Structure 1
Amino acid sequence: MVNNWSIIIQNYLFPPTCILCGHPGQSEKDLCLYCESGLIRATECCYRCGALFEETSTAPMLCGACLNKTPYFDETHAVFVYTGAIRYLLTTLKFGGQLKHARLIGQLMAEQFLTIVEIPECLIPVPLHSERYRERGFNQAIEIAKTIAKRMDIPVDLDSIIRQRSTGHQTELSAKQRKKNMLNAFAVKKKLPFNHVAIVDDVMTTGTTVSELAKALKKSGVHRVDVWVCARA
């Protein structure tokens, strides 16, 4: 009840306003119905890696890459396609420090993930190297995960995994170069007492980063690792 009243008071004093167009927001989100309806959802995807399909299917499908070689993670759940307004929100969050975008993104992700049958025991935001964290001042994956965790009542682990190497930006690298760049980038400081966890990140391009993180988690004893991302490129 206290939490409900705090939300009511907050919405009265600071009513939600659409980040994209400036009109009143809806459902406690800084996003209006019109702008939300324009977001392109990732509906036809490989259930393992989230790769986007052009054709529609009534049954879960695997892409050719996953059929050829199974990644270390088990499933990928991406809410949107990395284009248009979603690309703007994520880019201005990561490189512009617009942390309010992380809250909105987390809300949108939680709304969809609440319909997932198997909820993980813990969320693992993709860690940043200490050098990158000092440069940026925040970790966008952590900021997104905080909102998801609050909405879905799932704990977040920020202490068990570290990024032990500074891997630099991967944007301009090929898939092969990304794989080499990320090799053994993560280390488990202490064993996690969970069988099922979900890695949280903002956008997934080739899946190299989350695959390396999933590999480290599975080596430490975690049985199932899902990937939850806002968008799939």
Structure 2
Amino acid sequence: MRYGGEVAQLITAAKYAGRWPLWRTLADLLALRLPAIADVDVLVPMPLHTKRLRERGFNQSAEIAGVLAARTGLPLRHDLASRIRDTGQQSRLSLSKRKLNLRGAFAATSGVQGLRIAIIDDVMTSGLTLDTLAAALKRAGAQHVEAWVVARTL
């Protein structure tokens, strides 16, 4: 789904105006677009750095992933990946600065060995953040990584 209009308003309201019930609506919109039988073993929400998590009080990707896990029966694993460096808001950076900013931002555990993983996120802008996390998961041994996002700007 394209990021803009009503979708952008919903995401902004959920993320910055504390309208938490909207995450269920957004997750339901994403769930409608998923294949009937997902070819993944586990859901991994896009991790937030601990500083950002403290500031915001929640991880929007984890909120969405929790709804998807309940709908699909797939396990939700918060422990397989972490954001080990605070990267700030990527959306405000140019593409070249995003690449530099994301270097070394994520770590994955050996628990991903052989797993087929769906990374869950709210918005995909350039795709670099998702690609960087996917690369960390693959380096740690994940068999397959794909991204499930509510909306895309691409």
Q: TM-score range by the shorter chain?
A: over 0.9
Give TM-score scaled by structure 2 length: 0.94
The residue number in structure 2 matching 1:220 is 140
Moved more, 169-178 or 120-129: 169-178
In 1, the alpha carbon distance for the partners of 2:67 and 2:91 equals: 26
CA distance in 2, matches of 1:104, 1:118: 20
Query: Does residue 1:105 correspond to 2:30, yes or no?
Result: no
Query: Per the alignment, in what secondary structure is the counterpart of residue 108 of structure 1?
Result: helix
C-alpha deviation, 1:106, in angstroms: 0.9
Normalized against structure 1, the TM-score is what? 0.63
1:203 aligns with 2:111: no
| Structure 1: 5+ residue stretches without partners | 1-79
Identify, as 1 or 2, the structure richer in helix.
Answer: 2
1:170 Cα offset (Å) = 1.5
* Higher RCO (C-alpha 8 Å, min separation 6): 2
Identify the residue that residue 60 of structure 2 maps to in structure 1.
140
Partner Cα separation in structure 2 for residue 126 and residue 194 of structure 1:
19
Name the residue aligned to 1:96.
17
Q: For residues 134-155 of structure 1, what are the alpha-carbon distances to aligned partners after superposition, in whole Å with 9 as ceiling and x for unaligned?
A: 0000000000010111101110
What is the deviation of 1:114?
3.9
The DSSP-based 3-state class of the residue aligned with 1:177 is: helix
Match of 2:105 among 178, 181, 185: 185
- Establish whether residue 121 from structure 1 lines up as the match of residue 41 from structure 2: yes
1:39-71 deviations in Å (ceiling 9; x for gaps): xxxxxxxxxxxxxxxxxxxxxxxxxxxxxxxxx
Q: How far 1:194 moved relative to its partner?
A: 4.2
Determine helix, strand or coil for the equivalent of 1:97: coil
What is the aligned-residue RMSD (CA, Å)? Answer: 1.2
Aligned match of 1:232: 152
Q: Which runs of 4+ in 1 moved over 2 A?
A: none
Structure (1 or 2) with the larger CA radius of gyration:
1
Identity %: 41
Residue pair 1:122, 1:194 contacting (<8 A) in 2 also? no
Could you tell me which residue of structure 2 aligns to residue 22 of structure 1? none
What is the number of equivalent residue pairs in this alignment? 153
User: Residue in 1 aligned with 2:95?
Assistant: 175
1:107 and 1:152 mapped to 2: Cα distance? 11
What is the rounded CA distance, in whole Å, between the counterparts of 1:192 and 1:168 in structure 2?
A: 26
Counterpart mapping for 1:42-121 below 5 A: 80-115=1-36, 117-121=37-41
SS of the residue corresponding to residue 93 of structure 2 reads coil
1:154 aligns with 2:74: yes
Q: CA deviation at 1:192?
A: 1.8
Does 136-145 or 181-190 show the bigger shift? 181-190
Tell me how far apart the structure 2 counterparts of residues 186 and 200 of structure 1 sit (CA, whole Å).
15
Name the aligned partner's letter for residue 129 of structure 2: T
